[in-house]
Amino acid sequence: MTRALVLADEDDAAGFLGERAADHGVELVVARRDPAGYPPPLDGFGLVISMGSVWSVNAAGSVPWIAREIDLVRNAAASGIPVLGVCFGSQILAAAHGAAVRTASRPEFGWIRAGTMDEDLIPDGPWFAWHHDVVDLPEGAQLLARNTCGIQAYRAGRCLGIQFHPEVDVTIIERWIRHLGHDLAAAGMDADDVVAASRDQVESARHNAHRLFDHFMHLAHAGEV
């Protein structure tokens, strides 16, 4: 059985990706982002999944665990361990490959289209977004999706970065709104409308998340990510 190290703010962060990981026989081991003893060593893990966060990668200078997570992802990639970076995790992955992470010209919340360039690898949507930062394309990486906000997906060696959130179900979205609803209000969005749209989109989102994880696993096993 493949063991995947999941780097996350919450224990249940993997959502739909966790569902599909179980179908593939992948055991998820969650490491909560915490200043004490984080992150754990890579020993025994065949995959790394870096999930979203309330933090910005650009806080690495003042938040030591962020720099340590960048180092872990860099070491995983250099060791040939496939990495899936989701939103903040995509930004960690970009930083690990020497690319800049910047404040977006506009934040992106709610259901989006990714502007995919490879529908087989990255379905165009619907995907859920919640981010203030965007990445530059790492040197040598392949751009897979980009919309008017910025880069939404890229491949760097055996690693895949995605700026949106394939993992989210309605429960996760409602939890984010309870804690971060001020983001929606500042963007002029109604939380009830976002939840209603999420209920409409959830089955399509689950299907797309499963497709994305299936292809990631296929490429990881083939050594082509």
Phi (first) and psi of residue 111, to 5 degrees: -85, 130
pLDDT in tens, 107-144: 999 999 999 998 888 999 999 999 999 999 999 999 99
Tell me, what's the pLDDT at 180? 95
Q: What is the mean pLDDT of residues 215-223?
A: 80
Tell me, what's the pLDDT at 222? 72
pLDDT in tens, 26-49: 999 999 998 788 999 999 999 999
Share of the chain above pLDDT 90, in %: 89
What's the CATH code of the domain at 77?
A: 3.40.50.880
Q: What is the mean pLDDT of residues 190-199?
A: 97
Structure-model confidence comparison of residues 224 and 195, the more confident one: 195
Tell me, what's the pLDDT at 48? 98
Question: Total structural domains in the chain?
Answer: 1
Please check the confidence at residue 58 and state whether its pLDDT lies above 90: yes
Residue 152 CB partners (closer than 8 Å, separation 6+): 112, 114, 115, 116, 122, 127, 144, 145, 146, 162, 163, 164
Please check the confidence at residue 225 and state whether its pLDDT lies above 80: no
Q: Among 52, 130, 124, 123, which Cα is nearest to 91's?
A: 52
- CA triple 116-122-126, angle to 5 deg: 80
Whether the Cβ atoms of residue 27 and residue 4 lie closer than 8 Å to each other: yes
Tell me, what's the pLDDT at 223? 62
Q: Specify the 3-state DSSP secondary structure of 178.
A: helix
Q: What is the mean pLDDT of residues 11-21?
A: 95
Supply the range of the domain harboring residue 117.
2-222
DSSP for 90-138 reads HHHHHHHTT--EEEEEEEEEEEE---BS-TTTS----EEEEEEEEEPPP
* Residues labelled catalytic: 87, 165, 167
Q: What is the mean pLDDT of the chain?
A: 95
Q: How far apart are CA 64 and CA 47, in angstroms?
A: 23
Q: Specify the 3-state DSSP secondary structure of 186.
A: helix
